Structures are given as structure tokens and as C-alpha cells.
Amino acid sequence: MFGLDYKKAPPTVFVILHQDGQIRKQGAGLSFWYFSPISTVVDVPLTSQDIPFIFSEVTADFQELSLQGQLTYKITEPVLASSMLNFSVDKKGEYLEEQDTPVELLGARLVNATQVIAQSIIRPLSLRTVLQNPQAIVNGILDGLRKSDAVKNLGTQILDLSIIAIRPTPETSRALESETREKIQQQADQAIYTRRNAAVEEERRIKESELNTEKAVEQKRREIRETKMAADIALEEQRTELIDTKVQNDKKDADSKAYALEAALKPVQNTDWRTLLAVAAKNGDPRFAMSLAFQELAQNANKIGQLTLTPDLLQSLMYSGPESNGHKDKR
């Protein structure tokens, strides 16, 4: 009424009241009355803002790629920001800019600064390096934005930067996929070869272990055989010593018996055998004496002219011994 209006701002909006080219009021979440014909109200948002972006760059090996991400910032110096961009609002709190709002213009300038810094980082690098180190690209761009004078002059602070995707052209992507696929296949083949070699090596170790085991078993068997042979040899040696001892003992016994026999026969060794037989038959069987007589006759048969043996003589000879009576009885 009569140009008098009331302004009430939320705590997330920094309000500046300009009158006659002077700042009359400023602060976050202010509420006040003001005379609109001579006043200008500026609303600077203090909340963090997210700006999506996507742009293309060329690497050192002349390969085109696109960067897609999001930039998060916050206005920390609203007075400075309001001096760079028009944040003036009408009675309804809407920005007076008809084309792009100051927030959109601020976001566009930050995106441009981001692209300039990204270009300075990506241009010296190869495509493969950029694709393999996305976090290094993010850290480089973020560090460049925080040090940029253009960002500071806008009264803003960069809170975060995230790269959602770094994509080469479809043709380059297919070529890289083919190359990578071949390398992966080679690595798979190498892994198979390595596994096979490991299996062969393990089999060789197993065979070697088995052969060593068999060798040890054969060594033990040989030691057992040698021990048994040594025992047999020792036993045979003991048997040999026993036989030698027995032979010596038998020899000594035979020598003793021979000595005793020689001593027994020594008195009669010069006596005629006939005398010995006669002495032996003296108290013996008369038939033994008769047999000796016939033996003597047989030895001197060439000296006997005629010998007559009658049946009575033979009968008397047959029954003339100690058993003659018995024979006669049987007869």
C-alpha cells in the first residue's frame, strides 16, 4: 500500500536491501518493511547447488572423449556474488532477469571454468591414460577449481566434483574393447598354461616323491637283506668254528682211541696171527679150531697128496661143539 512492502526471507537466503545506491540491510533470513519505489531487494541463495555438465575434449593422441559429471558449489560471499550477477527480485520474490536466472548464469560460468581446467589436464594425456585414471582427472579438476580466481571472484566455494562417465567415441570404444578382449583372452590362456604347468610340476613332484619313497623302501629292503646275510654269514662262521672244533675233537678222540689201541696191541704186535687165533680158540668153540685147521689145510693144499673126509668125521665135527647135545636131542 502506497509502495510500502514487507519482505520476509527464509534462513537459506541472504537478503540485501539497496536504497539510493547504499546497502541498508543485509543478512540471512531477514524480515523488514521497505519502500519499493526507491528500494532494490537482492536474494542470494546460500544453499548448495548441483550443476550437471557434459562436454567433449580431445586427448594428446587426437582421440575425442566426453566427460559427464556434476559440480556442487555454494555461495559463500553473497555480496560479492550479487555484485557480479543480478540477484534482484520483485515483490513476489522472483528474479528480474527475463532470460536466464542468476543461479543459471552462475552455474554456466562454473561449468565453463570446469571445462577450461579439464581441457588443460586432459589435452597432454593419452586416451588410455585418461580412461585408466579417472580419479586423477577428478582430483586435478577439483583442485584447479578451488584455486581458480574466476571461481573466487564469483563469491562461490566448490564443494565437490564427480565424474559420472568418461566415454570415447563408439569406434574408439569398440577398438579398445577388442584390444582389451584380446589381452584378457591372452591372460586367460596364460592362466590356463600356468595352471597346466603347475599341474605338471605337481605331478612331477608327486612322481619324484613316489620314486624317492620306493628308493627308500628298496634301501631298507637291501639293508634288511644285508643284515640277514650278515647274520647268516655270522651263523655259518659259527657253524664253521663249531665244525672245526668238532673235527678237532673227533681227531683228538680218534687219536686217543688209536693211541689206546696201539698201546693195547703193542704187546702182541710181533706175535704170529696163528698163535693169536690159537690162543683165542683155546677156551672157545672146538669148531673154530677145526675151521682154522681146515683153513691151514686149504693154504697148504698143494702139499697134501690125498685127504679123506668120511661122513662120520664130518658128523662128529658138526656136533662136537657145546651145542652138540642139543642137536642130538633135536635129532
Q: What is the pLDDT of residue 36?
A: 87
Q: What percent of the chain has pLDDT over 90?
A: 44
In order of start, what are the domains of the chain with their CATH numbers? 47-168 (3.30.479.30), 271-299 (no CATH)
The residue-averaged pLDDT of 24-41 equals: 92
Asked whether residue 99 carries a pLDDT value surpassing 80, the answer given is no
Residue 314 reports pLDDT greater than 70: no
What is the arithmetic mean of pLDDT over 105-118?
94
Q: Is the pLDDT of residue 299 over 50?
A: yes
Poorest-pLDDT segment among 113-127, 231-245, 270-284 = 270-284
Average pLDDT over residues 257-276: 72
Per-residue pLDDT at 311: 72
What is the 3-class SS of the chain, one letter each residue? CCCEEEEECCCCEEEEEEECCEEEEEEECCEEEEEHHHEEEEEEECCCEEEEEEEEEECCCCCEEEEEEEEEEEECCHHHHHHHCCCEECCCCCECCCCCCHHHHHHHHHHHHHHHHHHHHHCCCCHHHHHHCHHHHHHHHHHHHHHCHHHHHCCEEEEEEEEEEEEECHHHHHHHHHHHHHHHHHHHHHHHHHHHHHHHHHHHHHHHHHHHHHHHHHHHHHHHHHHHHHHHHHHHHHHHHHHHHHHHHHHHHHHHHHHHHHHHHHHHCCCCHHHHHHHHCCCCCHHHHHHHHHHHHHHCHHHCCCCCCCHHHHHHHHCCCCCHHHHHHHC
Give me the chain's average pLDDT, please.
84
Look at residue 150 and tell me whether its pLDDT is greater than 60: yes
pLDDT, tens only, 71-98: 999 999 999 999 999 999 988 888 887 6
Q: What is the tens place of the pLDDT at every residue in 128-146?
A: 899 889 999 999 999 999 9
Q: Calculate mean pLDDT across residues 140-169.
A: 93
Q: Tell me: the pLDDT tens digits for 254-266?
A: 888 888 877 777 7
Q: What is the pLDDT of residue 104?
A: 92
